[in-house]
Amino acid sequence: MKSRNFSSLPIIILLALVSLPLVTMYVFLFVDTISDAPAGSLIPTSFTLEHWRFLWEEPKVGETSIWPVTLNTFIFAATTSSIVMTVSLMAGYALSRLNMPFRRFMLAGLITLHAFPTITLIIAIFLILQLLGLYNTLLGVIIVKTALELPFGIWIMKGFYDTVPWEIEMAGVQDGASRFTVWWKLVLPQVQPGLVALGVFSFLSAWSEFILPQVLSPSGSGQVLSTYLNSLILDDTRPDFNMFKSVGLFYAMPVIFIYLTFQKKLMNIYGGGSKG
Amino acid sequence: MRILLDSFTKTFGDVTVIKDMNLDIKSGEMLALLGPSGCGKSTTLFAICGIHGMDGGRLLFGDKDVTSLPSQKRNVGVVFQNYALYPHMNVWENIAFPLKIQKRSKAVIEKEVQAMAELVQIEELLDRKPVQLSGGQQQRVALARALVRKPDILLLDEPLANLDAKLRLEMRSEIRRIQQQTGITAVLVTHDQVEAMSMCDRIAIMNGGKIVQLSAPEEMYRNPSSDFVAGFLGNPPIAFLEGVIKDSHCHLHGGETRVALNGHAQKVSDGQKIKLGIRPEFFRPEFDLKVKGKISFIEAHGRENLYDVVLDNGDILRSIQNHDAQYQLGQEVTWGICQDNILAFDGEGERL
Ligand SMILES: Nc1ncnc2c1ncn2[C@@H]1O[C@H](COP(=O)(O)OP(=O)(O)OP(=O)(O)O)[C@@H](O)[C@H]1O
Ligand SMILES: [Mg+2]
ipTM score of complex: 0.78
Within a domain: B233: no
Residues of B within 8 A of A173 (CB-CB) are 50-51, 71-72
What mean pLDDT, rounded, does chain B reach?
89
What is the separation, in whole angstroms, between the first and last Cα of chain A? 31
Determine the 3-state secondary structure of B309 from DSSP.
strand
Which residues is B157 bridged to in the sheet?
B189
Domain carrying residue B320? 239-346
Give A191's contacts in chain B (Cβ within 8 Å).
none
CA distance B223 to B343: 8
DSSP string, chain A: ----SS-SHHHHHHHHHHHHHHHHHHHHHHHHHTEE--TT--S--EE--GGGGGGTSPPPTT---HHHHHHHHHHHHHHHHHHHHHHHHHHHHHHHH---TTHHHHHHHHHHHHHS-GGGGHHHHHHHHHHHT-TTSHHHHHHHHHHHHHHHHHHHHHHHHHTS-HHHHHHHHHTT--HHHIIIIIIHHHHHHHHHHHHHHHHHHHHT--HHHHHHS-SGGG--HHHHHHHHHH-TT---HHHHHHHHHHHHHHHHHHHHHHHHHHHHHHHHS---
Judged by a CB distance cut-off of 8 A, whether residue A174 touches chain B is yes
- B219 lies in the same domain as B256: no
Assess if residue B229 is contained within a domain: no
Contact B98 A176 (CB under 8 A): yes
Whether residue A100 is predicted with pLDDT greater than 90 in this model: the reply is no
State the average pLDDT over residues A97-118: 85
**Looking at B167, B197, B223, which one is the last position of a domain?**
B223
My answer on whether B219 and B246 are in the same domain is: no
Integer Cα distance of B206 and B204 in angstroms: 6
B46 CA → ligand 2 middle, Å: 10
> Is residue A51 a contact partner of residue A240, using CB atoms and an 8 Å limit?
yes
pLDDT at residue A272 greater than cutoff 60: no
Whether B161 and B131 map to the same domain: the answer is: yes
Q: Is residue B117 part of a domain?
A: yes
Q: Across residues A173-191, what is the average pLDDT?
A: 92
Domain boundary among B223, B250, B283: B223
- Between B198 and B245, residue with greater pLDDT: B198
For residue B171, pLDDT beyond 60: yes
> For residue B190, which of B161, B170, B216, B215 has the smallest C-alpha distance?
B161
For residue B228, tell me if it sits in a domain: no
Considering the domain architecture, whether residues B209 and B259 belong to the same structural domain is answered as no
Note the pLDDT tens digit of each residue in A29-48.
888 888 888 877 778 888 88
CATH number at residue B306: 2.40.50.140
Number of domains, chain B = 2
Instruction: Give the Cα separation of B112 and B97 in Å (integer).
Output: 11
Helix-helix angle B91-101:B135-147, to 10 degrees: 20
Q: How confident is the model at residue A110 (pLDDT cuts 50, 70, 90)?
A: confident
Residues B187 and B272 in one domain: no
Collect all residues of chain B within an 8 Å Cβ-Cβ radius of residue A177.
72, 97, 101
Under the banding of pLDDT at 50, 70 and 90, the label for residue B121 is confident
For chain B, say whether A184 makes contact (Cβ under 8 Å). Answer: no
pLDDT at B112: 93
Q: Quote the CA–CA distance of A4 and B70 in Å, as a whole number.
A: 58
What is the CATH code for A64-271?
1.10.3720.10
B196 within some domain: yes
**Could you tell me which residues come within 8 angstroms of residue A180 by beta carbon, excluding any fewer than 6 positions away?**
none
pLDDT at A77 over 60: yes
How open is the CA angle A263-A264-A268, to the nearest 5 degrees? 115
* A274 has pLDDT over 50: no
* CA B184 – CA B158 distance, rounded (Å): 18
- Pair (B70, B25) in one structural domain: yes
**Residues B98, A165: C-beta atoms closer than 8 Å:** no
Domain range summary for chain A, segments of one domain joined by +: 2-48, 64-271
Do B187 and B277 lie in one domain? The reply is: no
Nearest CA to ligand 1 atom 19: B38
Give burial (CB, 10 Å; 0-12/13-18/19+) of A272: buried
Query: In the 8-state DSSP scheme, what is residue B103?
Result: T
pLDDT of residue B224: 92
Is B251 strand, coil or helix? strand
- B148 and B261 housed in the same domain: no
- pLDDT tens sequence across B24-53: 999 999 999 999 998 999 999 999 999 888
Q: Which domain-ending residue is among B160, B195, B223? A: B223
- Rg (C-alpha) for chain A, rounded Å, is 23
Work out the average pLDDT over B212-236. 91
Query: Domain check: are B185 and B74 in the same one?
Result: yes
Q: Rounded to whole angstroms, how far apart are CA atoms A268 and A107?
A: 22
pLDDT at residue B264 is higher than 80: no
Are residues B183 and B40 both part of a single domain?
yes
Of the two residues A240 and B105, the one the predictor is more confident about is B105
Contact criterion met (CB below 8 Å) for A217 and A138: yes
Burial class (CB in 10 A: 0-12, 13-18, 19+), A250: middle
Q: Is the predicted pLDDT of residue B66 greater than 70, yes or no? A: yes
Using pLDDT thresholds of 50, 70 and 90, give the confidence band for residue B21: very high
Mark whether B328 and B216 lie in a shared domain.
no
Pair (B334, B265) in one structural domain: yes
The answer to whether A73 and A250 have CB atoms below 8 angstroms apart is no
Q: What residue type is B44 in one-letter code?
A: T
Q: What is the pTM of this model?
A: 0.79
Interface test with B, best of A160, A170, A174 (most B CBs within 10 A): A174
